[in-house]
Structure 1
Amino acid sequence: MGPTLKTCGELLRPLRALMALKQVALQRGHFADQVPYAAAGLLTELVHRGECRASDLAHHRIVDASVVSRQLGQLEQAGLITRRPDPADRRVSLLRATPDGERAVAELERRKAEWIASALASWDDAKVRELTRLLGDAMDDIRRHTINEGICPAGPGTREGTR
């Protein structure tokens, strides 16, 4: 049956607030050191996924390949990633985080965890784990639905490859 539109509409309020907090963190410079902010998520994804193609990163992050390409250029210029030819298709590169990239992500993740721990100081671990599980489940389902529907991040109702 699924949730009602009213209930899902209510969920949008805290999701908008969560996204606004991300912007506040950016504006206050909490996470902008050696990693260009726009590319930090991509570098983190690459560290966690391991070596892969740019198209795989774009698909998983549900963004246009041109966005990934610009961000990868920034990361490469900063010495945080390397490229090598894909042995299966030498026209394509495989990307990997450098040791400096891995250290930058570890520091970024540590600082984010400290920020969240401070903000949620009155919560216990069980409550944080439950929130983690629920958000993870929701994001997995939303990502899967978005990818399966072929919805392009450019806007509602558009499909990948139809620009």
Structure 2
Amino acid sequence: MGPTLETCGELLRPLRALMGLKQVALQRGYFGDQEVPYAAAGLLAELVFRGECRASDLAHHRIVDASVVSRQVGQLEQAGLISRRPDPADRRVSLLRATPDGERAVAELERRKAEWIANALEGWEDAKVRELGRLLGEAMDDIRRHTIDEGICHADPATREGTR
């Protein structure tokens, strides 16, 4: 059966607030870094965590247009944070990977983000933070699977039924 629309609506409020706090943190410079353009930092982190892949795979996984990835790849490549090589399976396509400098930049950015969260949640027990991470991870896996992997982007349940 799944959760009710009311329950899911209640979940949206803290998720919106969390996204808003991320923007505040960015504006205050908590995550700013001259080495990594912020717009491209997520793509660089994706390469570090996923490993070598095509730009089209990054666009699909990050749910952005290929032109966005192309621009960010250019920024990161110019900064020496990623490299590319021809895909042996299709030499018309490049495989992208983070350079050692890119890996170090992501590690530093992740450390600063973790420090920000640790300071904000200093009154929380480790077990509670782990549980929150586990639940958010499960939710994101299901939402990603529903939205991307199954290609379902319609809010209308009747439309969804017809796509399965």
* TM-score relative to the length of structure 1: 0.91
Could you tell me which residue of structure 1 aligns to residue 161 of structure 2? none
Q: What amino acid sits opposite 1:93 in the alignment?
A: S
Instruction: Map residues 68-107 of structure 1 onto 2, 5 A cutoff.
Output: 68-107=69-108
RMSD: 1.6
Could you tell me which residue of structure 2 aligns to residue 133 of structure 1? 134
Could you tell me which residue of structure 2 aligns to residue 55 of structure 1? 56
Q: What amino acid sits opposite 1:140 in the alignment?
A: D
The alpha carbon displacement at 1:148 in A equals: 3.2
State the distance in 2 between where 1:105 and 1:68 align.
17
Question: 1:66-102, CA deviations, whole angstroms, 9 ceiling, x for partnerless residues?
Answer: 1111111111111100010001100000001011000
Question: 1:131-152, CA deviations, whole angstroms, 9 ceiling, x for partnerless residues?
Answer: 0000000111111111134367
**Secondary structure of 2:64's aligned partner:** coil
The alpha carbon displacement at 1:156 in A equals: 7.7
State the distance in 1 between where 2:155 and 2:58 align.
21
Could you tell me which residue of structure 1 aligns to residue 9 of structure 2? 9
State the distance in 2 between where 1:20 and 1:123 align.
21
**Secondary structure of 2:96's aligned partner:** strand
**Identity percentage of aligned residues:** 88
State the distance in 2 between where 1:91 and 1:137 align.
37
**Secondary structure of 1:31's aligned partner:** coil
Question: 1:17-69, CA deviations, whole angstroms, 9 ceiling, x for partnerless residues?
Answer: 01001101110111121111111111001000111101111111111111111
Structure 2 unpaired stretches of 5+: 157-164
State the distance in 1 between where 2:145 and 2:63 align.
10
Question: 1:103-134, CA deviations, whole angstroms, 9 ceiling, x for partnerless residues?
Answer: 00000000001100000000011000000000
Q: What amino acid sits opposite 1:4 in the alignment?
A: T
**CA separation of 1:135 and 1:94: change in aligned 2, threshold 3 A:** same
1:113 aligns with 2:114: yes
State the distance in 1 between where 2:45 and 2:69 align.
13
**Secondary structure of 2:53's aligned partner:** coil
State the distance in 2 between where 1:148 and 1:112 align.
29
* TM-score relative to the length of structure 2: 0.90
- For these two proteins, the number of residue pairs brought into alignment is 155
